Each structure stands twice: as C-alpha cells, then as structure tokens.
Structure 1
Amino acid sequence: MSKAELRSYNFEIRAQTGEDGRGILEGRPIVYNRETDLGYFREIIESGALDKTDLKDVRFLVNHDTSMIPLARSRNNNANSTMQLAVDNEGLSIRVTLDVENNSEARNLHSAVERGDIDGMSFMFRIRGETWEGLDTDSPLRRITDIQQVIEVSAVTFPAYEETEINARCADVLDSARTTLESVPESLDSERRALEIEKLKTLYLDEN
C-alpha cells in the first residue's frame, strides 16, 4: 500500500445554518486539472482520478488532529452520515453537518469559517496511479491518475503549502521517483533504457 500524503489548499469552504439549526459546511477539497506548485514539483490531479477511490470511511477533522473526536464522518456515504461526499466532473465536494448545539468544537469551527478566519481545507490520501514529466528538470510535473483512498478531510488554519511536514513529504515523493529512474542501468541501449524508464514512471509508486 502506498504511503499517505497530505495536500492543503486555499479552496473555499462555506458555512451556513440548516433548517434544524445545525451548522453546515460545504467545500471542495479535491479539484481536477488544477496545477499546483508544491515547491519541489508541480502536481495535477487528473479527471477521473477519483473513479475507483475508496471513500468507505472518511473522517472530518480540524488541522489533521487525530487526537480529537472527529466532527463528522462519512460511512459508505449513506444518508445518515454526518459528512456527505460527491464525486463529479470537477473533483470531490463535501457537505458536513456539525452538531453546533452540543459540541463546542463544532460550534467554534462553524463560527470561524463563517467569519472567514478559516478558509482552507486539506485532505489525506493514498495514490495508486501516477505519471511524471521532466524529472530531469528543476520543476518536474506529477500527474495523479488514480487516488486509491481518501482517509480524512480537514478544515485547516494555515492552508498554505509551506508547512514543514507536508513539504518534507513532497521532497520524499520526488526523491523516490528520481532514485527509481536512476536505477535503470546506463549500459542499456538508448531505446531499451527509454522503455524501462517509461515503465518505471508508471509503476514505481506500487513499490512505495
């Protein structure tokens, strides 16, 4: 199984109040075909990358704090879940129902989003398929073609991508890709070496 990765973006998250008085958050944590500069490389999540994704059990947290009780959860995306997930032509959207009456953390989050003090989302996921372009350049491009699993979605205080932990993960991903390609022997003829490199570009993540 591939390693879990984090992505944090300034995607819009909106707050409203439902007819029953409960707090509602809506947003889109995953967007297709948007190029993002992750510092070590650029990344695009391709259309259809969520077609076979495991969304059976996804939690909604704040700042990825797994020590806290989840504020919502999607179980098989059924009607009784406190978080609803929808995959469409643009990516993944969420609708979270918060118990603002009985849960002070939920109430505080809803208020912060409503004020605009929290305006970003992050998600943790595993990848099953990807391709790379320009690994020999200073700004390679990673195309994610198949997301294996979405583990959790968080509202985040600092959605910018300079966070140390996330930045380090990006460096690891790029280093792994380059190391794998460098393992192809120089002694192979150019045509065969190019073929081996293309295979590794597609398959190497299965080994991580």
Structure 2
Amino acid sequence: MSKIEKRGGTLGVETRAADEKRTLVGYAAVFDSPTDISGWWTERIAPGAFAAAIGGDVRALVDHDMGRVIGRTKSGTLRLAEDSKGLAVEIDIPNTTDGNDLWELVERGDLSGMSFGFSVTKQSWDETVDPPLRTIEAVDLFEVSAVAWPAYDDTEIGKRALAEWRSANPATPAPEEITDPAAAPVTKANLTRARLKMDLELKVRSTR
C-alpha cells in the first residue's frame, strides 16, 4: 500500500436523483490536463491510462478513508468509464450515515471534488523541460473518493519513480545547462543556486 498515490481536483461532482435512487456523478481524473505536483514535476494523465483498471474491483470512498465505503464496482453501486474527457464516475449513494451526510454536503456545495487512489504501472518522463514532465500511461486503480480537499500528496513516491527512471535510462539527456542568468527559467532550484552563488561571491569579496 505504500506505493499508492492520490490525485484529484475540483473537477465537480453533482447529485442526480431518479426512481428513488441517489447517484453522485463526476470525474475523478481528466486527461491531458497538466498539474503541478508541489513544484517537483508537472504531471499529465494520458488517455487510456484507466482502460485496464476500470474492470477491477474498485471501491468508492469518502475522503480516501478505507473505512467509509459508499460504493463498489463488484456490487454495481460504483460505475467507472473512460470517455474523451477522463475517468467518469457514478456512485449510487447508500442509505447510511456516510451516504446521507455526503449527499447533503454535495447538494449544499460544501463538497465539490473527486479524487482517486492509484499505483502507476506505466509512465514516461521528459527531462528536457523544467520541471520534468511525468506522463502517466497506465495505472492500477484502487479507489475513487468524493473529497472536500483534492489530494496531491505522496510526492515521495513520484520522486522515487523519477530516480528509478533516471537509473533505468542513463542516456536520457538532462536539461541543457544555461550559462546566461537572464535566460534561466525561474525555478526553486535556480533561485537556490543564485543565492548560494551570491553568498559565495560576497564571502570572497570580504576576504580580499
């Protein structure tokens, strides 16, 4: 379970009621939508990333809490599909405390996001750009969640994935070194290097 990452966004979730059945609908992921992951890399999800995963036994949860199940693909109360936009989700909400509370919160607009928990099975990295671009091409999907706060955590897993990619692809060219400070992109790493260089120059001057 340590390899599970969580992603999501304020992509919208809405309620639909018909024939005494209450259903939440929305998107847990959108294809080809670049997302900044804590400044470490940019991430996009390629169309088809969920194709093999949506046939598995996936749960619908509240806020990624494994103890708060509100639907399941195996029972037919959670339905997942890939379309041209992304991972479409339909959850038949149960008549439980969590289900009733969730329905009320979505109707009021207090809860408006969806997210998903996954493990990457196929990915590629482009290090010719800064920050690197990670393209997720295939995943194992464990759960989808209705969330109050979209999750963009577990950066350590992604950082390990980048390190593994570099180890397996030693010939991958690193971004070209920029010697002209005016031409350098403004990034955390460049700002840190600039400050260190400035501190060093000041120390050298003070010792002369």
- TM-score, length basis structure 2: 0.73
- Aligned AA (2:93): L
- Aligned AA (2:145): S
Q: Does 1:94 align with 2:93?
A: no
Q: 2:3 touches 2:157 (CA, 8 Å); kept in 1?
A: no
Alignment partner, residue 134 of structure 2: 142
- Aligned AA (1:143): T
Q: CA RMSD in A?
A: 2.4
Alignment partner, residue 71 of structure 2: 72
Q: 2:8 touches 2:29 (CA, 8 Å); kept in 1?
A: no
- Aligned AA (2:15): A
Alignment partner, residue 166 of structure 1: 154
Partner Cα distance (2:3, 2:157) in 1:
10
- Aligned AA (2:79): Q
Alignment partner, residue 184 of structure 2: none
Alignment partner, residue 38 of structure 1: 37
- Aligned AA (1:74): T
Q: Does 1:114 align with 2:107?
A: yes
Partner Cα distance (2:115, 2:48) in 1:
20
Alignment partner, residue 125 of structure 1: 118
- Aligned AA (2:90): R
Unpaired runs of 5+ residues, structure 1, are 185-193, 199-208
Partner Cα distance (1:16, 1:32) in 2:
24
Query: Secondary structure at the residue paired with 1:57?
Result: coil
Tell me which moved more, 42-51 or 107-116.
Answer: 42-51
Alignment size in residue pairs = 172
Partner Cα distance (1:23, 1:171) in 2:
40
- Aligned AA (2:149): F
Deviation at 1:54, TM superposition (A): 5.1
Alignment partner, residue 148 of structure 2: 157
Deviation at 1:2, TM superposition (A): 9.6
Query: Secondary structure at the residue paired with 1:70?
Result: strand
- Aligned AA (1:18): A
- Aligned AA (1:113): V
Q: 1:53 touches 1:150 (CA, 8 Å); kept in 2?
A: yes
Over 3 Å counting, the alpha-carbon distance change for 1:119 and 1:4 in structure 2 is same
Alignment partner, residue 97 of structure 2: 104
Residues 5-63 of structure 1, C-alpha deviations (whole Å, 9 max, x = no match): 2112111111122221x321001112111111112110111122223335320101111
Q: 2:54 touches 2:80 (CA, 8 Å); kept in 1?
A: no
Unpaired runs of 5+ residues, structure 2, are 174-208
